[in-house]
Structure 1
Amino acid sequence: MVVTGGGGFIGAYLVKRLVRDGWDVAVVDTMVRGHASRFAEVADDVQLFTCDVRDEQALEQAFAGADVVMHLAAINGTENFYKRPELVLDVGLRGALAVVNAGRTADVPDLVVASTAEVYQTPAVVPTPETVSLTLPDSLNPRYSYGGSKIVSELIAFNYAREHYNRVQVFRPHNVYGPDMGWKHVIPQFITRAVLGKDRKLTGPTPFEIQGDGSETRAFCYVDDIVEGILTMYSSGGHREIYHIGNDEEVSVLDLARRVGEALNLELDIQSGQPAVGGTPRRCPDISKMRGLGYRPKVDLNEGLRRTIDWYVEHSGDTVTNELL
């Protein structure tokens, strides 16, 4: 089994689970954004290829003898979508081509590709099934660099791989979170800002600005449940199929901020701010297709936030945190 992007957030959790389940695991990651420390506890059982996912020749060597490639490598994080769209697109598109072609050359039988809920942007149906049309609302907005790259990645997976793989699957994860997920996503940013407010020991409620009025909704899924979903899909899912992996517990951004404050025993004075251009009012997956395979998310939001907050509080002095603040 090869995991591209195995030093990333979801990738590292997947690598650790695969090793525990007895797989021989190889990781492809430049470690520019990923960190080998994320899977340090199983590092002795992992073969690491520190090559670029766009380097087809290097991938051929990494993929040799593999039963399946799980392609998770990407430039993620909303902040990156706005600030580094060229890199997001380059890694997304050229990486998908290199992975599919290298897998063909190396005679890898199975291919699993990570997509995203961003392919819908503002879905017409919520909860959203896999059959809803994919949308790119505005090619001028760099926000859509990630969603656009994933739409093309799905096309590459299903068409370039059409006659060369025994099984091709695409999964669309929805709002994954958990310990060590990085610092450029909404939950770690909420936690970091709340911890900073708590440390300042202000009298009265802590001012806490959010984007928009907080009415936007998301359905957050704890990372262990995502990994369980990926493995359930791979073991029980079909060829040339797409699956939503996530949780269908929909919450507002306002409620999320309140829960973060409550978990830290901190009273927040939540204040509306400017909404993000290209933001999505509602996002929640219909996971009926995965439920049909036996998948059930187990970690509710309150428990997942507690685990995540504990990690970020413990690491609040990290250099990367100080850079963020």
Structure 2
Amino acid sequence: MAKKILVTGGTGFIGAGIVKRLLADGHTVRVLDNNSRGADRRLKDVHGQYEMVEADIRDLAKVSDAVKGMDCVAHLAYVNGTEFFYTKPDLVLDVGVKGMTNVIDACIAHGVGDFVLASSSEVYQTPPVVPTPETVPLVVPDPLNPRYSYGGGKIICELMALNYGRKHFERMTIFRPHNVYGPDMGWEHVLPQFVLRMKDVHAATPAGRPVTFPIQGSGQETRSFVYIDDFVDGLALMMDKAEHMSIYHIGTMDEVSVADVARQVGAFFGRAVELVPGTLQPGGTMRRCPDIAKLAGLGYAPKVSLAQGVPLLAQWYVDNAGLMPASKD
């Protein structure tokens, strides 16, 4: 059944992906974003098909106006990007917690019955089990480490969604993305940074020689990456079929080392790679791979491998390196 859906953070990387999918599925979509990190270009293919509200998620009056008349709110607005966790933890929490409070208050005021929250794999930091199910404990290992501003804020948002959800919503669902990637995903993430650094060392290294490529950590740290198209399929499926008060991981179970990721990026440029290990940032996690059995039970089956997805991402960043902002403030 077609719904009227508000997507906060809808010009962000993940937000734009779900906006386009919701429109394709016949829903009426309103987007709220201040474009501080989002970009209208991500929705250029569907301009004119959605209503845009340019506003800060911390502005209650504007959030309330945007929520009014909606059947469902998908709340994705947040400050993402590992660099910001360390350099702007106060901003991460300000946007995260104030934004969540405003959205919940507006939904209650206007009788919105369906609420979808974007959380993160960062809520459990270093998981006790890999692959990791949705039921593991949520933790903040060190409150003095600014990195945990992000995961801590997401834990607060989950607690609010669950505890307000019991009383005020007909259906409340939470999804935890796991390393979503693809073209135009932003500039503060490992894959774009690898591509742009590899582009530079490739240009500076004589043909036929391996490139020397410094990394954080040993390279044996692992992640599981999910291509944006597969991620959007999973989120759309969850929004259609998930039950009230449910939490779902969205990702893949293809665990890959950071070293192998660097080699795949090097292969895009036709280069062998000699890695130079470095210091892992405080709070970095050795392994992360979600158990996606719960979402698979609804019919989820990711299709795009990392080997297929990395060239698509890399080509976009090579072609659009000039779009990188001079300052990320």
Structure 1: distance between partners of 2:265 and 2:45: 29
Q: 2:111 — aligned with what?
A: 107
Q: 2:52 — aligned with what?
A: 48
Pairs within 5 Å for 1:124-139: 124-139=128-143
Q: Deviations over 1:111-162 (max 9, x none)?
A: 0000000001001000000011111100000010000000000011111232
Match for 1:237: what amino acid? Answer: A
Check the 8 A contact 2:93/2:150 in 1, yes or no: yes
Q: Deviation of residue 205 (structure 1)?
A: 1.6
Q: 1:299 — aligned with what?
A: 304
Check the 8 A contact 1:226/1:246 in 2, yes or no: yes
SS in 2 for 1:270: strand
Structure 1: distance between partners of 2:194 and 2:47: 31
Unaligned runs of 5+ in 2: none
Indicate which of 224, 233, 244 corresponds to 1:228: 233
Match for 2:153: what amino acid? Answer: S
> In the comparison of the two structures, how many residue pairs are matched?
323
Using structure 2 for the length normalisation, give the TM-score: 0.96
Unaligned runs of 5+ in 1: none
Match for 2:124: what amino acid? Answer: Y
Q: 2:321 — aligned with what?
A: 316
> RMSD across aligned C-alpha pairs, in angstroms?
1.2
Q: 1:39 — aligned with what?
A: 43
Check the 8 A contact 1:104/1:161 in 2, yes or no: no
Structure 2: distance between partners of 1:208 and 1:301: 20
More displaced stretch, 137-146 vs 257-266: 257-266
Q: 2:214 aligned with 1:214, yes or no?
A: no
Structure 2: distance between partners of 1:319 and 1:182: 9
Q: Deviations over 1:78-111 (max 9, x none)?
A: 0000000000011111111111110111111100
SS in 1 for 2:137: coil
Q: 2:257 — aligned with what?
A: 252
Q: Deviation of residue 319 (structure 1)?
A: 4.3
Check the 8 A contact 1:85/1:146 in 2, yes or no: yes
Check the 8 A contact 2:214/2:278 in 1, yes or no: yes
Structure 2: distance between partners of 1:318 and 1:193: 15
Structure 1: distance between partners of 2:321 and 2:56: 30
Structure 1: distance between partners of 2:285 and 2:91: 23
Q: 1:281 — aligned with what?
A: 286
Q: Deviation of residue 318 (structure 1)?
A: 2.7
Q: Deviation of residue 41 (structure 1)?
A: 1.3
SS in 2 for 1:17: helix
Q: 2:276 — aligned with what?
A: 271
Q: Deviation of residue 206 (structure 1)?
A: 1.4
Q: 2:237 aligned with 1:205, yes or no?
A: no
Structure 1: distance between partners of 2:97 and 2:264: 37
Runs of 4 or more, structure 1, over 4 Å off, are none
Structure 2: distance between partners of 1:81 and 1:238: 32
Using structure 1 for the length normalisation, give the TM-score: 0.97
